[in-house]
Structure 1
Amino acid sequence: MGTNLRAICPINKIEIESLSGRWLAVDAHNHLFQFITAIRTRSGEPVKDSEGRPISHLLGLLPRTANLIDHGIRLVYVFDGLMPELKARTIEERRNLKIEAKKKYERAKEREDIEGMRKYAVRTSRLTTEIVEDSKNLLEAMGVPVVQAPAEADAQAAYMVKNGDCYAAASQDYDMLLHGTPRVARNISKASRKSRGLELIILDELLENLEINRDELIALAMFVGTDYNPDGVKGIAFKRGLKLLRKNTIEEAFEKVAPELEWRPIIDLFKNMDVNENYSLKWKPPDENALHELLVEKHDLSEERIEKRVEQLRRNFQV
């Protein structure tokens, strides 16, 4: 999930109405992972249809998207592409953690330990190709635009916001800021529950508060650890890292505390990752037949559940 920058970020509490009429570039994988982690059976298993296929992502994606659109927000979902080679170690570590969690889940199952089963089942969550394709098909049937990033969705969303096509990126991942996203909206899942948890982080405010530039922000994150150097630099947290960067150039700072670290390729990756410049933000009316085929015929969701959401989408398309 990247670097946790919350301790150094100025957090602006906002109301959902402030996003009405604006486009948000949604980190699709980030949100789908929330659904497959949170929407589970009592024993921790994903919710499945009659054929044994997971549907937790559909049960979350449909209402959340429809409710946000009900608030007048225009959404475009951005999907991850190929992961950079520098992220290979992080991905391997996550894979190993899931394997270990699966073993612990099986042991809890043998003991009939329901709490243990749920605890470890959640840790095995992963987005399969089928889940991603189902989600894209659902969004397109809802009339919501989808953008496929060639690499990380963070970089693509950052480009779309910087380009003026979207107001902010919607993600729980602070790495959006390292990729240069001017504004990041967090906790949009709470917006439809009348919660005051909706947050907006503005990159320029962050840099001004810290008295550093974006390259130095990336270097600061690298001291703590990023997806591309997960170990960080031993003994360097935000406070000491800021002191280093205020008294030294980036090169001098790394020379002092981590001379062996290849830091230049990481900064370059955050700043110059491949993006898709040929995308469309065209909003379309819902395709009721496609929604029925995907959700009712294929995945056994109820007609009543679908009709309520179709009405929401149809009503808002006419606004």
Structure 2
Amino acid sequence: MGNADLRQLAAIEEVPFAAVEGSVVAVDVHNWLYKYLTTTVQWTRDDVYTTTDGVEVANLVGVVQGLPKFFEHDLTPVFVWDGGVTELKDEEIEERRDQREEYEEQLADAREAGDHLEAARLDARTQRLTETIHETTRELFDLLDVPQVEAPAEGEAQASYMARVDDAVDYAGSDDYDCLLLGSPLTLRQLTSKGDPERMDFQATLDEHDITWEQLVDVGILCGTDFNPGIDGFGPKTALKAIHEHGDLWGVLEAEDEYVEYGDRIRELFLNPDVTDDYAIHTDLSPDVAAAREFVTEQWEVDADEVERGFSRIEEAVTQTGLDQWT
């Protein structure tokens, strides 16, 4: 998920949606979907999104509630799915698994104690993107004619790459600060929050601190990334000062008598990630809202009242944004 401390260095500004209307956004779908999934689980009765067979599809509620934000502001989302997990991330994944198991134990205790508020909070924290969630989300996107891209590895890396090299893509969309290290020229953040989004500017960040892309990545590695724990005592400002003094990661490590395992490989994961040009996207969307509604409420038995407002907002966006090609 990246190191949130990098916000201290990032050039970020809040922008009105009017300033980004008509844009195409390559969205890190795992980052986007997980936020809506956990919010739905925490604040919605589980019978709303649980089928008669006991399958939970809270993701469908989240998608229907989240997509209108794009459509109402004339933004075209291109959802980018994670591919294979980078092996250097194994330790982080194991730590997350251990944390989830701890939450699950606490969840059982909260339920036994009858603490419904705490149980809802912990239930949200134990969510994971299951195969059913993947499959049903993809099918709903297809019905709504939302473009999807399969990344060979990290979704945020592919989204950042698309924003950097594809003239048809204006922004990466993610709350993950790794998009900055991955060189996304412009990243839209807070797309799952109320209010206007934030725009994170890669080149402005480099210019503000008089550093290169490589040096920015080195700062990130010193602070800690998804692939390494960082060096004790190094926050963003300390790391930036050290990079200015010693030039690069290797100079700092030598001066501090420190070591980062696989430091060169981690650097390459940000500067030259595993990405692909083998994709096609379209912006002339023709969503079948009726079929999408039937899929969610009849096939997967989601409470119709819970998603009707979201579907209505999607339909209303057709008129409000003048997208005559929508059906």
- State the shift of 1:102 in Å: 0.2
- State the shift of 1:56 in Å: 2.1
| Structure 1 partner of 2:243 | 245
Q: Which moved more, 1:93-102 or 1:51-60?
A: 51-60
Q: Which residue type is aligned with residue 135 of structure 1?
A: T
The reply on whether 1:176 has 2:179 as its aligned counterpart is yes
- State the shift of 1:43 in Å: 8.8
- State the shift of 1:201 in Å: 0.8
| Structure 2 partner of 1:29 | 30
Query: How does 1:223-242 map onto structure 2 within 5 Å?
Result: 223-229=222-228, 231-242=229-240
Judged with a 3 Å threshold, the aligned counterparts in structure 2 of structure 1 residues 47 and 176 are, in CA distance, closer, same or farther, namely farther
Matches of 2:311 and 2:65, distance apart in 1:
11
Task: Decide whether the 8 Å contact of 1:161 with 1:169 is kept in 2.
Answer: yes
Query: How does 1:33-72 map onto structure 2 within 5 Å?
Result: 33-40=34-41, 48-51=49-52, 52-72=54-74
Aligned pair partner of 2:124 in 122, 125, 140: 122
Judged with a 3 Å threshold, the aligned counterparts in structure 2 of structure 1 residues 165 and 189 are, in CA distance, closer, same or farther, namely same
The reply on whether 1:137 has 2:143 as its aligned counterpart is no
- State the shift of 1:314 in Å: 5.1
Judged with a 3 Å threshold, the aligned counterparts in structure 2 of structure 1 residues 144 and 42 are, in CA distance, closer, same or farther, namely closer
The reply on whether 1:146 has 2:145 as its aligned counterpart is no
Matches of 2:260 and 2:178, distance apart in 1:
24
- State the shift of 1:299 in Å: 1.7
Task: Decide whether the 8 Å contact of 1:44 with 1:119 is kept in 2.
Answer: no
The reply on whether 1:9 has 2:10 as its aligned counterpart is yes
Aligned length: 314
Task: Decide whether the 8 Å contact of 1:47 with 1:54 is kept in 2.
Answer: no
Query: How does 1:251-270 map onto structure 2 within 5 Å?
Result: 251-257=250-256, 258-270=258-270
Judged with a 3 Å threshold, the aligned counterparts in structure 2 of structure 1 residues 44 and 255 are, in CA distance, closer, same or farther, namely farther
- State the shift of 1:288 in Å: 4.3
Judged with a 3 Å threshold, the aligned counterparts in structure 2 of structure 1 residues 314 and 10 are, in CA distance, closer, same or farther, namely closer
Task: Decide whether the 8 Å contact of 2:103 with 2:125 is kept in 1.
Answer: yes
Identity across the alignment (%): 29
**Structure 1, residues 109-128: CA drift from partner, whole Å, max 9, x if none?**
11112232123222211111
Judged with a 3 Å threshold, the aligned counterparts in structure 2 of structure 1 residues 59 and 307 are, in CA distance, closer, same or farther, namely closer
Task: Decide whether the 8 Å contact of 1:161 with 1:168 is kept in 2.
Answer: yes
Task: Decide whether the 8 Å contact of 2:9 with 2:237 is kept in 1.
Answer: no
Matches of 2:121 and 2:21, distance apart in 1:
37
> Any gaps of 5 or more consecutive residues in structure 1?
none
Task: Decide whether the 8 Å contact of 1:32 with 1:57 is kept in 2.
Answer: yes
Is the partner of 1:239 in helix, strand or coil? helix
Judged with a 3 Å threshold, the aligned counterparts in structure 2 of structure 1 residues 226 and 234 are, in CA distance, closer, same or farther, namely same
Aligned pair partner of 2:189 in 186, 189, 201: 186
- State the shift of 1:311 in Å: 2.4
Task: Decide whether the 8 Å contact of 2:49 with 2:61 is kept in 1.
Answer: no
Matches of 2:35 and 2:16, distance apart in 1:
22
Q: Provide runs of 4+ in structure 1 moved above 3 Å.
A: 41-47, 312-317
- State the shift of 1:67 in Å: 3.4
The CA RMSD over aligned residues, in Å, is: 2.2
